[in-house]
Amino acid sequence: MKEKVGQVTAEERSEIQQLFERRNGLNELAKILTPENDALYQKLVKDMGETGTKFQNWWDNMAKKYNWKSTPNGHWEINFETCEIFLSE
């Protein structure tokens, strides 16, 4: 079940979309990058940490800013095309 609970601006959408894409990119890079390539591996590990934090911060900040409805077993989703936020269970 899905319920629309809010909307973000286009700029805010672009921010999370970029972080989402970067996170996916880093995850798939991690599948092929080995510790032997030390410099790049360290860069990847650092980036994964930073991107994960930024990703989480975005949701925390937006939830606070817009005061979206939440439920104990639900999660929020964003539609990148419409900037709508949905609560899914």
Partner 1 sequence: MQKVRKNDNAWQSGRAKNITFIVTKDCQLACKYCYLVGKNVKERMSWETAKAFIDYVLSHENEFREESVVWDFIGGEPFLEIELIDKICDYLKLRMFELNHHWFNSYRFSFSTNGINYHTPEVQNFIQKNREHLSIGITIDGTEKKHDLNRVWKQATPNANGITQPSERGSYKDVVKNIPLWLSQFPDAGTKVTISSADIPYITESVLHLYSLGIHQVNINVVFEDVWQEGDDKRFEEQLMQLADAIIDGGWYQDYACSFFSEHIGKPLDPELDNQNWCGAGRMLSVDAAGNLYPCTRFAQYSLRSKKALVIGNIHDGINQNLLRPFLTLDRTTQSPQKCLDCEVASGCAWCQGENYDAAQTNTIYERSTAICLMHKARVRANNYYWNKLYRKLELEGRREEYEANKRDVKPEIC
Which residues of the chain form contacts with partner 1 (CB under 8 A)?
A: 16-18, 20-22, 24-29, 31-33, 40, 43-44, 47, 59, 70, 74-81, 86
Closest approach of Cβ 66 to partner 1, in Å? 13
Closest approach of Cβ 13 to partner 1, in Å? 10
Cβ partners under 8 Å of residue 50, min gap 6? none
d(CA 64, CA 79): 19
Q: State the number of CA atoms in the 13 A half-sphere of 48 facing the CB.
A: 15
Closest approach of Cβ 7 to partner 1, in Å? 13
